[in-house]
Each structure stands twice: as structure tokens, then as C-alpha cells.
Chain A
Amino acid sequence: MDLVSISGAKVLMIGAGALGNEVAKDLVLSGFRKVTIVDMDHVVGSNLNRCLFFSREDARQGRKKAEVVAEGMRVLSADARPRPITGRVQDQPGRLFSDHDIVLGCLDNIEARIHANAHSYSTGKVYIDGGMDGMLGKVMVARPPKGACLQCGMNRTHAKIASMRFSCTGRDVVFHEPKLAAEITTTSIVSAVMVREALKAVSGHPEMLLNNAFYYDGRRNLSEEMEIPLDPECPVHPRGRGATGKRKRFKST
């Protein structure tokens, strides 16, 4: 690993929930220093059992997650230079992506994922996306300008739930789905794989990066790499249209 490159790399981390907490911890303990944290939420009590940096006092005050995580990173390393931004990633200026070297998605909804994926790809930044549901986890690495992106692996079931949030406190309350909170051991595994991939990318070892997706099933003690083929109809890719002329029905915002 190239520690000089790692400490100098500008990392954009989107989402500061359960996964964002773990990724932030792994980033700073791995030597990353310049981390921009984007999150729109504030800390609530139900976050506390799975989020390293959040305290009861943070929840009582309703503090912004991005700010609390940034503080926590500074506690772990005096050299850390985290920059918190409170707001939706979709509302940030486009240069946010081009101003960074690598992007890590710790998001809880497909809309924001599609946005982060599309903007990372178009600005040529490696995008590492993590997702969890109970004991299931997935890490996807998109490596522009070649290969599949996150959206290439999506289908109609993703489109149907694109605006729902699957936060670390459970499934989207608007839909009254059964609650299934983030499970911290899965979170730890997903975050570790994400940051490990970031270390490889920033150290100049693209040949060591995951090809597409890492899938983890803690119930079956199974982990494996899966291939996501590039979709010629995916709007993220330069041609954007396939032979059929059809486009996927959902686009980045």
C-alpha cells in the first residue's frame, strides 16, 4: 500500500449511518486523512446500538450525523481532516465528485445510489458502493471508463423501490415494512471490504480490485464474487442506448 497516496487522497463518503460510521473508522485508521462526509440526517436514539461515533447526547441534541462522524474521526487521528456536509447528495454541486479522487457510497436508498454512481462514472472516479440487509451484504466496485457500473446490475425491482429508504434503523417507515435493522457484524464486513478496495485503488493497484461485486450471506457463511455484465442500455455509459433503442426507466437525478 502507498501510504503517501492514501494520506493525500481526497475521499468522498456519502452517507453517515451505520455503514458510514464503520467506513469512516476504517478509513481514518487505514491512513486516509481528507474525507468529505455528506449526509442529510441527524442522530436519533435508534442509531446508537450500531453506530460507533454516535452518543445518547448526540441523539438528545439531534446533531447532524456528518458533523458527529467528522468529530469522531478527529478523535481517532489528530491528522484527520474530515469535512462534513449536511444535505442530500443530489443537491450538492456537480464539482463535488470531480473534486475528489474516489467515492464511497454508504447509502440507504437507490435514488441516491444512482446519483452517486452516475456522477462518479461520468467524472472517472472509482465508485465503491456498500449495501446491507440484516446478515446480507454487498460491495460493488465501478471502475470507469471500463466495465459495468452499479446501475447495470439493477432491474425492475430496483426501479419500484428507488425512492424508498432502507436506513440503519430499519426499512422505510412510510411503507410500514417489517423492521430489519442494520446488523453490526455484517456492517463491519461490508465496510472493511469497501475500505480495502479504496486502499487498492488509491495505491495504484486497479488489477487487485474486485471485478464487479462481492456478496456476503452471513446466514449461510457464504461470501463470493459475482459478475455484473455491462448493460448496453444503461444510461450511465457513454452510448447510453442499446441495439433495441430502449433505455432503462430510471435515470440519475
Chain B
Amino acid sequence: MSSISGGFLPVRIKVKNAETGASVEMELEMENTIDEVIESAATFWSKDMGAYVLRKGKKVLRGGNSLKDAGLRADDVLELIPDPEGG
């Protein structure tokens, strides 16, 4: 998703797909946002159009936050889960 540029050091974050158990390692900058990670992971796995959230442990991460704001570190493991909207 990103590389070394603009003086930012990349970090590797693992994102797991809650629906399949698959995982992907992403190289990101701490300035990347959670929204960007969600969209990149959803695109990578060709997810249906829908709502998704990213969580670390029990905590849902805020979309507008940067990785830095979210307190993420290299080698953190996140999980992409669908946010069911049907009724």
C-alpha cells in the first residue's frame, strides 16, 4: 500500500480476514488511516460492497484515525470483520 517515502518509515501490520481465516501483511506508514487499511484489505480480498470494521482485540478502530493515533505498532495483528446491516 505504501513504501518508504517522504521520510516516513513503513511498518508491517498483519490483517486477518474474519470470514475466511486468511491473512495478509501490509506495509504501511503510521500516517495511513484505518479507513485506508479497511478499503485496501477489502479490495485485496475482493469483498462485496458493504460495511466493514477493523478491530484490534476487542476494540473497534476508528476509521479516521491514523495508525499512529490508533496506537498501532509494527507486527500488530488486526481483524477485518463485516458489520452486518440487514434487518
Contact = CB atoms under 8 A, between A and B. Distances in A.
Given A155-B35, A155-B63, 13 more contacts: A133-B82, A137-B84, A152-B62, A153-B53, A154-B51, A157-B39, A157-B52, A161-B49, A167-B87, A171-B86, A178-B48, A226-B58, A231-B64
A132 interface: yes
A221 to B, nearest CB: 13
Interface string B17-60: 01100000000000000110011001000001111110100111
B33 to A, nearest CB: 9
Nearest to A152: B62
B87 A18 contact: yes
Contacts of A212: 60
Interface stretch (A27-35, A52-60, A106-114, A200-208): A106-114
Nearest to A135: B84
Interface in A159-184: 160-161, 164, 166-168, 171, 175, 177-178, 180, 182
Nearest to B35: A156
Interface residues of A, number: 53
Contacts, number: 113
A56 B35 CA distance: 44
A131 B86 contact: yes
A68 interface: no
B85 A161 contact: yes
A18 B39 CA distance: 30
Majority SS at the chain A contact face: mixed
B59 A131 contact: no
B82 A136 contact: yes
A217 interface: yes
Interface string B53-83: 1010011101110000000000000000111
A110 B48 contact: no
A229 B55 contact: no
Contact of A217 (B18, B35, B53, B86): B18
